[in-house]
Chains A and B, each alone.
Chain A
Amino acid sequence: EAQVTQNPRYLITVTGKKLTVTCSQNMNHEYMSWYRQDPGLGLRQIYYSMNVEVTDKGDVPEGYKVSRKEKRNFPLILESPSPNQTSLYFCASQGGRASYEQYFGPGTRLTVT
């Protein structure tokens, strides 16, 4: 089954404790993205990757890092989480430049205290 998976689905952590949210897709998609969803703000793109070892900033990259060492994985790293990063995070993948439809993962609800 074609899917995008994220782990963990729920995470409560404390300020400053590094964490990684994993994202994996089994569709051999080149493009992957991370979004955060906040009430009243919709979804905002954090980072995206056009292919292995190619990443770029989205609209709200501050406080986040990503890496793309393999095509299927696109982890989101918070080196020093802060309470304003409490949010719902979605990973998405896309088939290629001729296919603009994005497939979303189930989401990770992060709370930073």
Chain B
Amino acid sequence: AQSVSQHNHHVILSEAASLELGCNYSYGGTVNLFWYVQYPGQHLQLLLKYFSGDPLVKGIKGFEAEFIKSKFSFNLRKPSVQWSDTAEYFCAVNAGQAGTALIFGKGTTLSVSS
């Protein structure tokens, strides 16, 4: 069965610090990869996605993620975080087969202090 692991449960950073959130998945076939963000009290919004092609994908708000197939990883990065990036971040994987099951990681809470 597919699974997604997010290494950090809670990350605390100061403004302007660099961010990297780890995500690993277990599935041997073709995958589609996503990072979603959930700001306090709001619904999930798509940050970025990877289907194929360039493994370095850029998303909204200065976020990017790199797909490393050999490591089954899709880590999220941002060079300089802002207080407004305080949110919960979810990595998700879809195995690309019929059906719509998105498998989510358990989430990483990011707290940015100003």
Chain A residues with CB under 8 Å of chain B are 31-33, 35, 40-45, 48, 50, 56, 58-59, 90, 92, 94, 97, 100-102, 104-107
Measured CA separation A107–B99 after assembly (Å): 22
23 A-B pairs with CB atoms under 8 Å apart are A31-B100, A32-B100, A33-B101, A40-B9, A40-B106, A42-B104, A42-B107, A43-B90, A43-B102, A48-B99, A48-B101, A56-B99, A58-B101, A97-B98, A100-B49, A100-B94, A100-B102, A101-B34, A101-B49, A102-B100, A104-B43, A105-B43, A106-B42
Residue of A nearest to B9 (CB): A40
Grouping DSSP codes into helix (H, G, I), strand (E, B) and loop, the B interface class, with mixed when no group exceeds half, is: loop
Measured CA separation A87–B36 after assembly (Å): 19
Q: Which residues of B have CB within 8 Å of A56? A: 99
**Interface size for chain B: under 10, 10 to 19, 20 to 34, or 35 or more residues?**
20 to 34
B32 on interface, CB distance cutoff 8 Å = yes
Measured CA separation A41–B9 after assembly (Å): 11
Measured CA separation A105–B43 after assembly (Å): 7
Q: Which residues of B have CB within 8 Å of A97? A: 98
How would residues 70 to 114 of chain B score, 1 for a CB under 8 Å from any chain A CB and 0 otherwise? 000000000000000000001010101011111011110000000
